[in-house]
């Protein structure tokens, strides 16, 4: 097999005088510029041997043994051989010793803004009082201190859960002293170096200090909750609106925590909100019907509702209905009791829905009478239910002209259970 003359059969030992070594590649660099790279490497730049700096905090520009330059931090070796990171930040955003603030919140906000720019989280420490009686407030890096091991078992002999800790004993902090004369806070110490890597630009949006549930996030989760959309799906929908996860400004855990707090906040008023919602629907839609009853503790014990479409379907296909109370709600364990039927397309349709706190004869009697009132006191011809003695007592009192039949599924289920 012959080799084309345009392709060299062997690799040349030396590059050609003109053009690149590989003839199949076309160079886009002008010939007047040398082919060798003129940019210096960003990492692992070797510095001539110099004595190790004595101070752990450089005053001007340190003369390290190993110098690494990054867009966010400067790394150098201290006298004891440990590595420290100096965050990169403009001077206007960096705290300085001697700065005076009228309130402690302003000093903390400045340090938090500085932490967001540099790429680390902060945490608040306890307020101390020194020997001279001066009140001091410490604000530390979140990786301050070291988590001490508590052992594999607790005092009761139960195995402890393993917890991962990111604390490495970082000394970065800011200390503010309170001036008792004028009530102002003065920055007495600002320790800048960290003994750990700082967050990269791609991971900075996920820091705790960078995440925040704004009013936009809260309204979005609240509106989706009304439409029965959970926090996980709300987070994904919000991501699609803003373009990527980096632009959300919060994590899925933040969405879930807000959804949990929202449910806890409306826990005592959710029944009141439901009744008010039904009242507004009844005012807007003339065909909407609902009724409820309270117990001795002013809690909703019975509830029934049906819209205009359900009532219209009952007037057309209400000769035979099925009443099933097999399921109950998750939070309050109220029995869900829907009235269903079949239309001319052999599709299941709902005539009305009820919620009951108890499955006794009195509760079933209230629900059946409310159902007849909503449907114009028109009894169905056939009613299919399960084998409930309390339900049978209520049926004989309310549905006088209706033939009662038992559900075949319940009969077969009980038959196999006995076997």
Per-residue 3-state assignment (H helix, E strand, C coil) for 24-86: CCCCCCCCCCCCCCCCCCCCCEECCCCCCCCCCCCCCCCCCCEEEECCCEEEEECCCCCEEEE
150's tokens: 């508590």
CB atoms within 10 A of CB 290: 20
72's tokens: 């966010």
3-state helix, strand, coil in the chain (%, to 5): 30, 20, 50
Q: Do 199 and 207 form a contact (C-beta atoms < 8 A)?
A: yes
Distance CA 119, CA 240 (A): 26
Put simply, whether the predicted model's pTM sits higher than 0.75 gets the answer: no
Which residue has 């791609």 as its token pair? 202
User: What per-residue confidence (pLDDT) applies to 353?
Assistant: 95
DSSP helix/strand/coil, 139 = strand
Cβ neighbours of residue 332 under 8 Å, at least 6 residues apart? 357
User: What per-residue confidence (pLDDT) applies to 380?
Assistant: 93
User: What per-residue confidence (pLDDT) applies to 309?
Assistant: 95
255's tokens: 């969405």
Phi/psi of residue 24, each to 5°? -80, -10
User: What per-residue confidence (pLDDT) applies to 402?
Assistant: 92
400's tokens: 């006088």
348's tokens: 């299941």
Distance CA 173, CA 193 (A): 9
Tens place of pLDDT per residue across the chain (419 aa):
444 444 444 444 444 444 444 433 433 444 343 444 444 444 444 444 444 444 344 444 444 333 333 345 667 677 677 788 888 788 888 888 888 888 888 888 888 888 888 888 888 887 777 776 778 888 888 888 777 666 677 677 787 777 777 788 888 888 888 887 778 888 888 888 888 888 877 777 778 877 888 899 999 999 998 888 999 999 999 999 998 888 888 889 999 999 999 888 887 788 888 899 999 999 999 899 999 999 888 889 999 999 999 999 999 999 999 998 888 877 788 999 999 999 999 999 999 999 999 999 999 999 999 999 999 999 999 999 988 888 889 999 999 889 988 888 767 776 666 65
Indicate the angle between helix axes 252-265 and 215-226, nearest 10 degrees. Answer: 60
Helix (H) or strand (E) holding 189: strand 185-191
User: Exposed, middle or buried by CB within 10 Å (0-12, 13-18, 19+), for 208?
Assistant: middle
């Amino acid at each position: 097999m012959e080799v084309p003359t345009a392709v060299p059969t062997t690799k040349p030992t030396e590059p050609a005088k003109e053009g690149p070594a590989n003839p199949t590649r076309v160079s886009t660099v002008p010939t007047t510029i040398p082919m060798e790279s003129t940019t210096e490497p960003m990492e692992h730049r070797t510095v001539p041997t110099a004595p190790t700096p004595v101070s752990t905090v450089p005053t001007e520009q340190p003369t390290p043994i190993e110098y690494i330059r990054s867009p966010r931090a400067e790394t150098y070796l201290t006298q004891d051989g440990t590595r420290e990171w100096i965050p990169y930040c403009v001077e206007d955003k960096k705290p300085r010793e001697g700065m005076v603030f009228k309130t402690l919140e302003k000093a903390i906000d400045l340090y938090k803004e500085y932490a967001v720019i540099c790429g680390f989280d902060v945490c608040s420490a306890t307020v101390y009082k020194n020997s001279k009686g001066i009140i001091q407030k410490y604000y530390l890096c979140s990786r301050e201190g070291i988590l001490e091991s508590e052992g594999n078992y607790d005092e009761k002999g139960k195995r402890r859960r393993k917890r991962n800790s990111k604390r490495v004993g970082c000394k970065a902090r800011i200390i503010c002293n309170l001036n008792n004369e004028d009530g102002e806070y003065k920055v007495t110490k600002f320790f800048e170096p960290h003994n750990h890597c700082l967050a990269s630009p791609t991971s900075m949006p996920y820091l705790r200090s960078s995440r925040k549930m704004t009013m936009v996030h809260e309204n979005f989760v609240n509106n989706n909750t009304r439409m029965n959309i959970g926090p996980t799906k709300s987070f994904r929908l919000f991501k699609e609106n803003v373009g990527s996860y980096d632009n959300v400004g919060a994590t899925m855990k933040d969405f879930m925590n807000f959804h949990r707090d929202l449910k806890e906040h409306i826990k005592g008023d959710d029944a009141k909100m439901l009744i008010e919602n039904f009242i507004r629907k009844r005012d807007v839609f003339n065909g909407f019907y609902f009724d409820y009853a309270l117990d001795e503790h002013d809690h909703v014990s019975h509830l029934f509702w049906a819209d205009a479409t359900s009532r219209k379907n009952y007037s057309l296909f209400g000769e035979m209905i099925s009443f099933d109370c097999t399921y109950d709600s998750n939070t309050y364990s109220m029995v869900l009791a829907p009235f269903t039927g079949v239309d001319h397309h052999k599709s299941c349709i709902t005539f009305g829905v009820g919620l009951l706190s108890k499955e006794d004869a009195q509760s079933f009697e209230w629900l059946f009478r409310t159902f007849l009132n909503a449907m114009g006191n028109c009894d169905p011809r056939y009613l299919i239910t399960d084998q409930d003695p309390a339900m049978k007592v209520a049926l004989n009192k309310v549905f006088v002209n209706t033939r009662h039949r038992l559900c075949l599924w319940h009969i077969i289920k009980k038959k196999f259970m006995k076997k």
